[in-house]
Structure 1
Amino acid sequence: MQVKESTFLITGAASGLGAATAERLVAAGAKVVLCDVSDSISRHAAQLGERAKACMADITSSEQMQLAFDVAAKLSEEKGVAGVIHCAGVISVAKLVDREGNPADLDAYAKTININLVGTFNVMRLAAATMAKNTPNKDGERGVIINTASIAAFDGQVGQCAYSASKAGVVGMSLPAARELSRHAIRVMAIAPGVFETPMMGDIPDEAAQALAASVPFPKRLGKAEEFAQLAEHIIVNSMLNGEVIRLDGGIRMQ
């Protein structure tokens, strides 16, 4: 699949991984719809120029996400939405039993699952229905879906029951979704980032962040959002990448 002149929808595009991916794809000649719940999304889209459009939408809302896909379809000028890079999500930390002996909040757990897992399914189902209508390209391909998992899906730490479960669900959906959507010539992939320099890491003290960076075998630093974007672009153009989860973590294994 070609990036140039293709149209992509990117969730979580106001900052971090999604913003970097939008910037990279626009630079490569793509059209992008930046989707987020943050009102800063319009400013970021304006900075990227006429090839970018903003659409405020909640990934857990069927109506709002359908509107985002409609915006992307219009931007494509009837060529169809070629791909979705789904970066939106939340991080949550809560122990099953706190220091005072109280159980974890069930509503907080459900909220994490709803955003990270149900939200991913919502975006994926709407993307599939949209792309299935595309005319196949010269290689017979109609589209690609790239979801964002996490190394927490494999190496969850203390307090990450909700977050790890939600991201493990994203991993678990990748292969069955790829198998199902193969009849529509749509690929499904997932990227599992390690510790990256994103706004989500902003609440972590500098000392803790340095310790995380030191624990990466190589390179001994936090990942950069641009490196996620680079991998997303490669997945788009490499048609043999399908049904797989790629760890992007410098070799780190969390304890």
Structure 2
Amino acid sequence: MFDAVPEWRMGLHLAVGADERAYLVIGGEVAVAVEEIGTPIEPVERVAYLTSSWLRPDCPRREELFEEWLDYLWPTPELRPVGGAEPGVLGSEAGLRVATPTESGATNRLATAPADGGQLPFATRSQAGTVVYRWEPFPVSRRCRAGGSEIAAASFAAPEQERPFMPSGFAAASRLALPSLLPACFLYALEPAAGTAIECGTAGPMSDGGVRMRFPHATPTRARIAAPAVLPPL
């Protein structure tokens, strides 16, 4: 269901569970429960994220091992997208139930957070040689599939000039103001067709100064999308 829902931030969606808690949906694959401050935090290492073989640059069976990792995670309750999403219910999927400490009351504010469109006040169009990048936490993208030739509608990216500032997964999460526990270690290079509409602006006051872009429409690419480069988490 999240494939058809506009992104809230790069690689992130907002959702509300049947348990009435707020969730971050990461990469369209993993749901993270957001809790108020004071609740226990279940260690992410329980699911062996940073030691996962599919995070290694030389992994020969990356996608297969990633799918096995997903199968290891706990199921979520039914989820409903929020923030401009169409009505509907997402059936139980593999999910990572990790409580993240936030300021008191953040759960409700997250569930009703406005779309980020207000922070992308400028419009432009891609040029014949434009290259943009996406940093994602997983080796399989649901917004710009390797081997495909289209960027999904309402997907975020960053201009080529931003790449030197995000050499690692955690650096990307910080600069792009991604409120996610997971580093964005998989770097996709995208070549949008010339003349493509692009919305642009800053990554917001919580970022390290990044610039972001969004493709409001499904966008063909000039070449097949290559498999992502693998960045170190730190």
Question: TM-score normalised to the size of structure 1?
Answer: 0.25
**Higher strand proportion (structure 1 or 2):** 2
Question: TM-score normalised to the size of structure 2?
Answer: 0.27
Larger-gyration structure (1/2): 1
**Higher helix proportion (structure 1 or 2):** 1
